[in-house]
Chain A
């Protein structure tokens, strides 16, 4: 087949990229080779626009065993235990086919984790939909939630935490980010780097079909009005087969048979074989006739680019074939030697006894393009609204408006569709600041949380980038965990647009500052560009997934109030920042202004002291203050208990809306038993921490003295309406 301009374009390759291919090969590529280049050089696989910015992020630390560059990041949690985790996007496929898109997103990220030898112990997700009134939102919400549940429930890994948000910026491009967390013995971690020549390259798992061909390229382009036609590029998931693959792989990993292992994710057989060879500075030769195929007459092009799910590539130690094969046939899975490692440093493909492609591995991997795209800085936006000029609104009414809004409503409609309890180590389920998962058969546990704040990032990317790292850090602190490391999923628009590239550069800069200051390294992650339709880009939406450690797990605190008559302490200073607040958005439809400032020093000090108080058993319940401010935080602590609070108005004269709804950062609310109040206050004073004793807990009523008094149960009902009525 002659390679025409149209063919090159349809492979998503730019003119200069094609010329580069000719130069690297010293000839014209054939059609198959062109397909392979396009699969490896697209944005999704090559990180060509993001790489130079990602380099800034701190990736090392005392507890980091493996940073970015492997299937997932690995951290040390002591006693030969390690945690493997990563987050990944499946945005484009989920918009086209929500159930399968979301399901295979979960399946893909699980494989990244168990490829490294870890048994997955928790799943999390961050899902963003368009406005609830958009005609597609309801079916997308339904499809995505049941897809996430369908996969995780069947494979039997608890889905323990996440966020579900709505905003019109995602009307034509939803976000589906899935995170998986696994546990492994530190001395049993598996990597993707191949070693040794003439070692068997083994294909295991499902058969290869025609699904998902060019999926990664699809995810590297904007949508247009014809995006529905892209349905065939979406993969189809089979969680049952993945469960078998998981058990078979973990069984094989018990001994020393595996030299290297890599899952076939984006760009399938192509990227898995190239990555293994590239990391080991080797070549790889595949005989495509041997690839197990689901359909008849599949071409080499289809085999190399299919993104059929639940497949792995393994480089096996000599003499281990029989034993390994036995394990896979026990689990009724394909196990076929399809090639070998070579010292040629080429990807060599054979079909029907003929050589049909030969490409230097370096050309595909290390010589993939890297772009320093143009970008511009964003100025700190001015705040134009004057609070005094806005129509006065009662505190109670404003609170009710927030608690009944889609973004703040109780999400049990979503989370009840996920099995959160299977594996019996979920000590704290979703609905709290972070979920807590016990390490099986141990006293220790990890806390996990995923967070994003797209409106802050849109308004001022550097601040937003910092804020989201801090919020995630705070969420782990709130459940008594010491934050260790994060993974990030960076969802942005078209990087060829300099404003969007600026959002990316500045968000990562903000993240870098916060991660460095908090000693909170990034160990894995994923970038998703081209989130937009018809040139309309989404808000910059970096999502952070954090892991913290709890050395000795006791009954989790939770954020629910525990005892009548205890004190309510607010840690951190309230300035009353309302720019970008949900108070303005929900009550006045005002979305302007700058995001709240981040003071990293206060953030760190406040967090440390809260963790210290929790560890000293001085805290009955704890919740961080985030969007919606102090009063929303307090109401969340009261709802679903039979208790309420009695809060005094601030003594100094100030605007009550600012005080109760301001979204100043670095703040927490603690419930402290009467007998512990002196000890707590002394500790806070001795550490020069700003705090206020703002009230007490009481039976039944949520009260702000002289301002509002409402039955907690009524608040609970208000908070539980939206999903059930949608």
Chain B
């Protein structure tokens, strides 16, 4: 399985995701944002960080960079795309995913472990998880408050495109278990073809018991199937 990680100036989870991919035996390559062609890849990852300093609006400048045209082409031809945190924000800026990520409701940066629930385990990204399985994954963001139109929200629900929801330890999704104010506790979504996943939590931070836990491993191993 071949993967590419796109690196923007200001990306800072690029090494972390590369470590995770290599640990799971992906053949990974780093791709610089000024490049105009992509190596042949089964998976493209847009990592977390502060691409272009989050200036203007998080993800906005990265969404217009040279390599993005290639990412869009690859996405349209069915390549798997994973955007984590800033990567999710970038995907919404490119239009590959709908909706947007607003400032956290408490107006502060939030870094902590939160629980999320697997809402659909029938995708290429999630087949190794149980349906409704509760994971403990780290979040770290200023703008993770997902918002979208009513029409799109209906579509997300109808077509089972909500990937993860913030919840408590028991899997309850309510205001108390919502760290950033995201609409309906949404932590990650798919596009309609389910080959693109954008999520705020960082699965690459949860692949090692000494450091945290291994709740993120199955996301990557699902992709290997």
With contacts A416-B110, A417-B109 taken as known, whether A244 is within 8 angstroms of B13 at the C-beta atoms is no
Task: Tell yes or no: B121 within 8 A of A by CB.
Answer: no
Residues in B whose Cβ lies below 8 Å from that of A155: 12
Given contacts A240-B50, A244-B9, contact A422 B109 (CB under 8 A): no
**Residues A239 and B16 in contact, CB atoms below 8 Å apart:** no
Within 8 A of A (CB), among B46-87: 48-50, 52-55
Q: Does B92 contact A (CB under 8 A)?
A: no
Query: A3 contacts the other chain (Cβ, under 8 Å)?
Result: no
Mark each residue of chain B from 1 to 19: 1 if its CB lies under 8 Å from any CB of chain A, else 0.
0000000011011011001
Whether the pair A423, B15 counts as a contact (CB closer than 8 A) is yes
In angstroms, Cα B19 to Cα A425, docked, is 11
- Nearest opposing residue in chain A for B111, CB measure: A419
Per a CB cutoff under 8 Å, which of B50, B108, B204 touches A146?
B108
Please determine whether A424 and B109 come into contact, CB atoms closer than 8 angstroms: no
B residues less than 8 Å from A132 (CB atoms): none
Out of A240, A416, A421, A427, which one reaches B10, CB within 8 Å? A240
Minimum Cβ distance to chain A for residue B59 (Å): 14
Instruction: Report the separation of the CA atoms of residues A418 and B112 in the bound assembly, to the nearest whole angstrom.
Output: 9
Q: Verify A156–B9 contact, CB threshold 8 A.
A: no
Q: Is A92 engaged at the interface, CB distance under 8 Å to the other chain?
A: no
CA–CA, A149 to B205, complex, Å?
A: 19
- A 240-259 binary contact with B (CB < 8 Å = 1; else 0): 11011000000000000000
A31 at the interface (CB under 8 A from B): no
**In the complex the two chains form, what is the Cα distance from A30 to B144 in whole Å?**
55
A156/B12 contact (C-beta < 8 A), A239-B50, A417-B109, A419-B109 known: yes
In the bound complex, what is the Cα–Cα distance between A239 and B10 (angstroms)? 9
Shortest CB distance B66–A (Å): 14
- Closest partner residue, chain A, to B140 (CB atom): A419
Which residues of chain A are within 8 angstroms of B110 by Cβ–Cβ distance? 416-417
Interface check A553, CB cutoff 8 A: yes
* Docked CA distance A662–B35 (Å): 64
Decide if B53 touches A154 in the complex (CB within 8 Å).
yes
Contact A238 B53 (CB under 8 A): yes
Query: Which residues of A sit under 8 angstroms from B16, Cβ to Cβ?
Result: 422-424
Answer yes or no: B212 CB below 8 A from chain A CBs. Answer: yes
Chain A residues numbered 337-393 whose CB sits less than 8 Å from any CB in chain B: none
Chain A residue contacts of B13, Cβ below 8 A: 156, 422
Residue pair B204, A418 in contact (C-beta under 8 Å): no
Contacting pair B50 A554 (CB below 8 A): no
* CA gap between A412 and B106 in the complex, in Å: 14
CB distance from B189 to the nearest CB of A (A): 23
Q: Pick from A153, A239, A417, A421: contact of B138, CB below 8 A.
A: A421
Nearest Cβ on chain A to B218's Cβ, whole angstroms: 17
User: Which residues of chain A come closer than 8 Å to B208, judged between CB atoms?
Assistant: 424
Nearest A residue to B110 by beta-carbon distance?
A: A416
**Residues of chain A contacted by B9 (CB below 8 angstroms):** 240, 243-244, 331-332
A243, B140: Cβ atoms closer than 8 Å: no
CB distance from B111 to the nearest CB of A (A): 5
Q: How far is the CB of B176 from chain A (nearest CB, A)?
A: 14
Whether A594 sits at the interface, judged by CB under 8 Å, is no
Q: Knowing A240-B9, A417-B108, A424-B19, say if A553 contacts B50 (CB, 8 Å).
A: no
A557 to chain B, nearest CB (A): 12
- A426 contacts the other chain (Cβ, under 8 Å)? yes
Residues on B with beta carbons closer than 8 Å to the beta carbon of A416? 108, 110-112
Closest Cβ–Cβ distance, residue A104 to chain B (whole Å):
15
A421 adjacent to B52 (CB under 8 Å): no
Interface centre among B15, B140, B205, B208, by most A CB within 10 Å?
B140
| B181–chain A nearest beta-carbon distance, Å | 15
Judge whether A417 and B50 touch: CB under 8 Å.
no
Q: What's the least CB distance linking B20 to chain A, in Å?
A: 8
Shortest Cβ distance from A225 into chain B, in angstroms?
Answer: 32
Q: Give bound CA distance, A146 to B142, whole Å.
A: 11
For residue A487, CB closer than 8 A to chain B, the reply is no
Chain B stretch 181-225: residues in CB contact (< 8 A) with chain A? 202, 204-205, 207-212
Cβ-neighbour of A427 out of B52, B111, B211 (below 8 A): B211
Residue of A149, A241, A424, A438 touching B204 (CB-CB under 8 A): A424
Residues from chain A with Cβ under 8 Å of B205 in the complex: 421, 424
Contacts of A556 in B (CB 8 A): 210
Instruction: Name the A residues within 8 Å of B212 (CB-CB).
Output: 421
Interchain nearest-CB distance for A380 vs B (Å)? 44
Which B residues lie at the A interface, using CB under 8 A?
9-10, 12-13, 15-16, 19, 48-50, 52-55, 108-112, 138, 140, 142, 202, 204-205, 207-212
Known: A416-B108, A423-B15. 16 other contacts (CB 8 A): A146-B108, A156-B49, A238-B53, A240-B9, A240-B55, A244-B9, A417-B108, A417-B110, A418-B111, A421-B111, A423-B16, A424-B208, A425-B211, A427-B210, A555-B209, A555-B210
The 3 A-B pairs at the shortest CB distance, nearest first, are namely A156-B12, A240-B53, A154-B50
